[in-house]
Amino acid sequence: MSITGLHLSGNAHIGAARLFGPVTLDAPAGAWTCLLGPSGVGKSSILRLLAGLGEGVVFDGRLGADDGQPLTGRVALMAQGDLLLPWLDLVGNVTLGARLRGVPADKMRAAELLRRVGLAAHATKRPDALSGGQRQRVALARTLMEDRPVVLLDEPFSALDARARAQMQDLAAALLAGRTVLHVTHDTLEAARLGEQVLLMTEQGMRSIAPPAAPVPRPHDARETLAFQGHLQRLLMMPA
């Protein structure tokens, strides 16, 4: 699996409505980049463009992989909602990508991923039998099943309670280590815990905010984590 960084520079709009820009974003290869900012500045639009899902969006600029190769087939997207299909069991949901591509599903690998996310005993259940945190674990397993070197996360833990959110952050950090991760979040503590690079996006543009040197996931109650969270919060609260 060839790991690459990401680059995007330019602006985007739909009709007369400006989505974002001009901005420049660089996500280093093999690192976890958190993209933090208020609603409506275009963070999710950036993810959709990188994922090749920017239908209807006019983008003027340059985006792609640092190695110059196409991103097609190298990107997995984990959305804010779990997007599980209610009529499939967990194995069926984890192997959905293979089903959609019309190729044989590796059910043994799916079962192993469900074991890694702590759901081996639930493999034959359907999503409506699971808690919100368990459903997010299935969505993470499905993302891992795609085995892509680039992973895009669009607020995947925002609907969870504080305990489940922290557990999913820890699990995702462990299972996605070494991949290029671009993670959109509104949560300053999440960015302080997970970001090896933290980018703050506002209507004025993009800026990089240096995180603590401690490895991720950083303890939620560590002094440097809380201090960095406070710093990010103050930056977000500054007048536009």
Res 160: pLDDT: 82
- Identify whether the C-beta of residue 150 lies closer than 8 Å to the C-beta of residue 180: yes
Does residue 8 sit in the same domain as residue 92? no
Domains of the chain: total:
2
pLDDT band at 2 (very low <50, low <70, confident <90, very high): confident
pLDDT, tens digit, 9 for 90 and up, residues 184-228: 999 999 999 999 999 999 888 899 999 999 999 999 999 999 999
Does residue 240 sit in the same domain as residue 186? yes
Does residue 160 sit in the same domain as residue 140? no
Range of the domain at 197: 1-74+150-240
On average, the pLDDT of the chain sits at: 92
Does residue 29 sit in the same domain as residue 68? yes
Does residue 56 sit in the same domain as residue 118? no
Does residue 89 sit in the same domain as residue 117? yes
pLDDT band at 1 (very low <50, low <70, confident <90, very high): low
Q: What is the pTM of this model?
A: 0.93
Q: Does residue 161 sit within a domain?
A: yes
Domain boundary among 98, 122, 147: 147
Residue 21 has pLDDT above 90, yes or no: no
Residue 28 has pLDDT above 70, yes or no: yes
Res 54: pLDDT: 76
Q: In the structure encoding, which two tokens stand for residue 144, read together?
A: 């891992």
Mean pLDDT computed over 46-71: 90
Does residue 178 sit in the same domain as residue 208? yes
Domain boundary among 147, 171, 193: 147
Does residue 69 sit in the same domain as residue 184? yes
Domain boundary among 147, 164, 183: 147
Q: Does residue 79 sit within a domain?
A: no
Does residue 234 sit in the same domain as residue 161? yes
For the domain that residue 10 is a member of, what is the CATH number?
3.40.50.300
Does residue 236 sit in the same domain as residue 158? yes
Does residue 154 sit in the same domain as residue 69? yes
Q: What percent of the chain has pLDDT over 70?
A: 99
Does residue 67 sit in the same domain as residue 168? yes
pLDDT, tens digit, 9 for 90 and up, residues 84-130: 999 999 999 999 998 889 899 999 999 999 998 899 999 999 999 99
Res 33: pLDDT: 98
Q: Does residue 58 sit within a domain?
A: yes
Q: What percent of the chain has pLDDT over 90?
A: 72
